């Protein structure tokens, strides 16, 4: 029980809650004052007592465990030591000792074959006991490293020369054994009473166990668990995954749910170094879980705390896809403060990574943050300002992330004679370090391989703005953005055809402004979206980002830029100034896309109209609500109508994240409800056409309603709950797409496609059985169908009507793949968008009973109401009401519905 966490012990039973209340309050109902519970408590073996609210806990030093740290951990028995395979592990209190086995030497962690031999001769007449100090090595975890301790060992030697004793008794200090330039011979000294003989012997070249003759620098920082002390003097275990050179890793541990930074990684750690020099882990940067972005934005950034603030910002933006507009505003404030305070390269690392993570945010959130307070423009300017002041300790600052690449370096003004360039080469959707390159001579840029590039004019053009190009050093800044998410404007918002159809690339020279250049700045871009079967791209415009446009909100402007044509599939632009450049294009859906959209819109409009008229008929005329098939049909119409209205009105409502999620949930629910009522239709047809006699099911409509309306609600809620916002605002939402208000990923596969697929499989089986029964001349109200009386035509109509009712046309959606995609796309759009209209045609418009009821209702009767008409039962009767009553009576007696209930 004591080994359970406190929170678990408190909530085990209701009785525990009573004890908590008794601890919190005195008998008079007044809150008791909390005291220091560590008074009188002794945490053993170096443990630290931490006071809590009416409780305490002991943070044990490494090597100990237990409530009071009283238990020593036996590393040797639990196989958690790091001793060499040729070493013996000996457990000690709070630690362990590694001792190399006989025939090996080393510190116990690394053991090597002992190739040194000392030959002694028995030259002394007496035997004496000599105590020799030998050295063993132990791992002391409290200092997180290996230290050496000397343990005296007494053994007996025979006739040992004092020189040997002295040389052997020397205490061996901890050293790193060499792995290169190892001598190939060793020297043996033989002592006698008259001479000292030295013999040189070759060392065997056979490789030793667990040793190497060469050592290459490590290129990966391997993951593991480290223990750090937080600001509250608590020992915190942090586990990090493997990390490549010059990258970072976030801890697997996250902040608790009751903190401001719930769900955020607890720490970040960099793998510093390079492939050439080797890599190693830097110290972890621990996050204060009481911080969030709004709190961090209020911190005054100084040169002393800039590194800490930068690492906090990096961790807090690590889940960029779940940031809200206010989070991005706070992050932009912190970025501005950092850019104006320090030029430390390590701060620059965290700054660029933070921007990269922010660029993973939802487009609508980014758009809102820009519209509210120009957060995105502030972020772009902060990056530029930091590049202007970053300390170039190696004459260059370079940081390439997936969404943004930055490079800043010093160059002599005279070196601009050939013009310089910067390029992202084609080869990956994300930016990669090897694909982002700078060129001292722009003629070296492979123009047929660039994804985006920029070339500055030669020095004779720039010298108009640089007064002295002799010995002057200039700082060149280049930035490439993998997408245009930091450049949001109404020009490219949802609902428009204009899109930024390229990467965004920028250049500036610190301290100088270039305008109206006589020779242009040349940029090249591969269009992100190109002309194809489903897209049409036209109206290319070369633009730059004007921070002051649109009332200071920022917008794309074509001033000073011109489209120079297409070269090797790249759009070429000429501009007479330096800033952030891109290309705008108008992107339209292709002919196929336009046709499918048109068909869907017309079909949905007709279906909504048809379903509305069908439901209106059932609502007005009580006679149409008497039989079981009519009840089922009415419920199916309600589900389909709700689905189509939601789809038409809300599928693109992505401007409101909450509203879009609500639309996705309701659309999911009503679509599944429609499928379930299709399954009920199929089951009822099976009873009516196949079972016939004895097919009566008591309270079938009530049971069907619980099934068809209740099960979809359970599935819809469960699909939403598995993506419950437990990690919001910092978790990543997977429930719906960011492009449309509809499910995505596993939610779509398991929440929609799986249940819909099962329903369609059931309906297909029922359809085959029912149609087979009809084709074989099954019973129809006790009569055998006459092949000469148009039964074939009637059965065909029934087959189509049944297909519509059970929704078999939805099967086309599962075949919209491979080469048949276009054909099945048309079939899917035509039949499913018109499903509601077909229901109206077959089950309302063509029904004589419905026609007569409407004629009578409108005062346009075709004859006397007592005139004999053909009712929905297929028999002559004196009135629709009487006909319907007879049909209902026969259904209750035989347990089936006539085929003509489904089609006239």
Range with the lowest mean pLDDT among 282-291, 298-307, 353-362, 417-426?
417-426
Q: Compute the distance between CA of residue 450 and CA of residue 293 in angstroms, rounded to an integer.
A: 38
Lowest model confidence (mean pLDDT) among 15-29, 435-449, 661-675: 15-29
Q: What is the DSSP secondary-structure string of 716-728?
A: HHHHHHTT-GGGT
Please give the pLDDT value at position 538.
81
Given a contact cutoff of 8 angstroms between Cβ atoms, the answer to whether 741 and 660 are in contact is yes
Averaged pLDDT for residues 115-125: 36
Q: Is the pLDDT of residue 182 over 50?
A: no
Share the mean pLDDT of the chain. 75
- Structure confidence by residue, pLDDT tens digits, 508-545: 988 888 788 888 999 999 998 887 656 778 889 999 99
Q: Who wins on pLDDT, 31 or 666? A: 666
The stretches of 576-699 forming alpha helices (DSSP H) are: 591-620, 628-650, 657-686
Torsion angle of alpha carbons 341, 342, 348, 351, nearest 10°?
A: -20
Q: Which of 28, 32, 57, 60 is nearest to 45 (CA)?
A: 60
Predicted model pTM: 0.53
- Integer Cα distance of 837 and 461 in angstroms: 69
pLDDT at 556: 94
155-177: average pLDDT = 34
Instruction: Decide if 559 contacts 551 (C-beta within 8 A).
Output: no
First to last CA, the chain: 74
Distance CA 797, CA 460 (A): 83
Domains annotated for the chain, with CATH where assigned, are: 220-339 (no CATH), 392-530+538-589 (2.60.220.50), 593-775+796-855 (1.20.1070.10)
Closest CA to 252 of 278, 214, 231, 226: 226
What is the pLDDT at residue 133? 33
Position 389 confidence tier, pLDDT thresholds 50, 70, 90: very high
CA angle, corner 119, sides to 118 and 120, nearest 5?
A: 115
Which of the four pLDDT bands, split at 50, 70 and 90, describes residue 851? confident
CB 434 within 8 A of CB 511: no
The pLDDT value recorded for residue 460 is: 53
Rounded alpha-carbon distances, angstroms, from residue 452 to 455, 478, 502, 505, 807: 11, 12, 8, 7, 49
- Answer for the pair 558, 539: CB distance below 8 angstroms, yes or no: no
Max mean pLDDT range (75-84, 140-149, 425-434): 425-434
CB 902 within 8 A of CB 802: yes
Res. 184: pLDDT tops 50: no
Q: What integer pLDDT is reported at residue 72 of this predicted model?
A: 87
DSSP string for residues in 546-595: ETTTTTTT-EEE-TTEEEEEEETTEEEEEESS-SEEEEEEEEEE-HHHHH
pLDDT category of residue 791 using cuts at 50, 70 and 90: low
Supply the pLDDT for residue 415.
72
């Amino acid at each position: 029980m004591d080994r359970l966490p406190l929170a678990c012990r408190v909530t085990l039973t209701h009785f525990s809650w009573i004890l908590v209340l008794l601890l919190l309050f005195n008998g008079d109902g007044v809150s008791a004052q909390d005291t220091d519970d560590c008074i009188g408590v002794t945490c053993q073996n170096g443990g630290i007592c931490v006071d809590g609210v009416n409780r305490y806990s002991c943070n044990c030093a490494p090597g100990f465990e237990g409530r009071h740290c009283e238990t020593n951990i036996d590393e040797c028995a639990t196989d958690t030591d790091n001793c060499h395979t040729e070493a013996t592990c000996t457990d000690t209190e709070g630690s362990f000792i590694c001792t190399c086995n006989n025939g090996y030497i080393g510190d116990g962690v690394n053991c090597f074959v002992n190739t040194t031999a000392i030959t002694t001769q028995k030259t002394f007449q007496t035997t004496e006991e000599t105590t020799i100090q030998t050295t063993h090595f132990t791992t002391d975890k409290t200092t997180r490293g290996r230290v050496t301790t000397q343990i005296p060992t007494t053994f007996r030697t025979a006739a040992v020369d004092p020189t040997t004793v002295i040389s052997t008794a020397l205490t061996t200090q901890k050293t790193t054994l060499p792995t290169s330039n190892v001598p190939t011979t060793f020297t043996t000294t033989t002592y006698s009473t008259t001479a000292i003989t030295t013999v040189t012997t070759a060392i065997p070249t056979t490789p030793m166990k667990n040793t190497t003759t060469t050592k290459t620098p490590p290129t990966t920082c391997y993951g593991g668990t480290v223990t750090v002390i937080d600001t509250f003097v608590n020992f915190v275990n942090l586990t990090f995954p493997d990390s490549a050179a010059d990258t970072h890793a976030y801890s697997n541990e996250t902040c608790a749910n009751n903190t401001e930074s719930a769900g955020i990684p607890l720490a970040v750690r960099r793998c510093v170094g390079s492939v050439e020099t080797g890599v190693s882990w830097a110290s972890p940067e621990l996050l204060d879980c009481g911080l969030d972005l709004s709190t961090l934005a209020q911190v005054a950034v100084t040169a002393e705390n800039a590194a800490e603030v930068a690492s906090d910002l990096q961790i807090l933006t690590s889940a960029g896809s779940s940031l809200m507009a206010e989070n991005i505003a706070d992050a932009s404030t912190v970025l501005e403060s950092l850019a104006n305070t320090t030029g430390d390269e390590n701060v620059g690392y965290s700054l660029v990574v933070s921007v990269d993570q922010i660029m993973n945010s939802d487009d609508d959130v980014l758009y809102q943050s820009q519209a509210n307070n120009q957060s995105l423009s502030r972020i772009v300017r902060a990056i530029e300002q930091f590049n202007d002041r970053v300390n170039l300790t190696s004459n260059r600052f370079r940081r390439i992330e997936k969404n943004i690449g930055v490079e800043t370096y010093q160059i002599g003004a005279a070196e601009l004679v050939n013009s310089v360039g910067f390029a992202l080469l084609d080869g990956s959707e994300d930016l990669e370090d090897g694909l982002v390159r700078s060129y001292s001579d722009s003629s070296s840029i492979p123009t047929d391989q660039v994804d985006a590039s920029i070339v500055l004019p030669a020095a004779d053009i720039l010298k108009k703005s640089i007064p002295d190009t002799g010995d002057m050093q200039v700082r060149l800044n280049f930035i490439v953005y993998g997408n245009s998410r930091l450049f949001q404007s109404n020009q490219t918002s949802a609902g428009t055809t204009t899109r930024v159809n390229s990467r965004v690339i920028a250049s500036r020279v610190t301290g100088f402004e270039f305008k109206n250049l006589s020779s242009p700045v040349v940029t090249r871009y591969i269009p992100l979206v190109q002309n194809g079967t489903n897209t049409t791209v036209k109206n290319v415009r070369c633009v730059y980002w004007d921070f002051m446009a649109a009332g200071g909100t920022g917008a794309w402007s074509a001033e000073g830029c011109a489209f120079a044509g297409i070269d090797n599939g790249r759009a070429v632009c000429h501009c007479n100034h330096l800033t952030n450049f891109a290309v705008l294009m108008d992107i339209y859906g292709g002919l196929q896309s336009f046709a499918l959209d048109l068909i869907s819109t017309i079909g949905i409009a007709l279906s909504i109209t048809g379903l509305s008229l069908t439901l209106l008929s059932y609502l007005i005329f009580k006679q149409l609500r008497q039989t079981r098939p009519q009840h089922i049909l009415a419920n199916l119409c309600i589900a389909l109508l709700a689905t189509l209205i939601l789809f038409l009105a809300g599928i693109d409502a992505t401007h409101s994240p909450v509203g879009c999620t609500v639309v996705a949930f309701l659309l999911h629910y009503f679509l599944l409800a429609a499928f379930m009522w299709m399954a009920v239709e199929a089951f009822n047809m099976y009873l009516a056409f196949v079972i016939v006699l004895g097919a009566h099911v008591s309270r079938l409509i009530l049971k069907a309603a619980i099934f068809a309306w209740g099960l979809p609600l359970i599935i819809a809620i469960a699909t939403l709950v598995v993506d419950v916002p437990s990690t919001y605002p910092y978790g990543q939402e997977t429930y719906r797409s960011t492009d449309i208000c509809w499910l995505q990923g596993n939610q779509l596969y398991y929440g929609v496609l799986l249940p819909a697929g099962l329903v369609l499989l059931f309906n297909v089986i029922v359809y085959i059985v029912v149609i087979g029964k009809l084709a074989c001349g099954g019973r129809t109200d006790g009569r055998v169908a006459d092949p000469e009386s148009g039964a074939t035509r009637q059965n065909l109509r029934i087959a189509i009507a049944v297909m519509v009712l059970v929704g078999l046309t939805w099967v086309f959606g599962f075949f919209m793949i491979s080469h048949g995609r276009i054909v099945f796309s048309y079939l899917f759009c035509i039949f499913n968008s018109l499903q509601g209209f077909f229901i109206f045609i077959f089950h309302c418009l063509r029904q004589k009973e419905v026609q007569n009821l409407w004629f009578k209702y409108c005062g346009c009767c075709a004859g006397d109401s007592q005139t004999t008409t053909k009712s929905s039962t297929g028999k002559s009767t004196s009135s629709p009401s009487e006909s319907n009553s007879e049909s209902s009576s026969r259904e209750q007696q035989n347990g089936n519905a006539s085929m003509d209930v489904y089609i006239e």
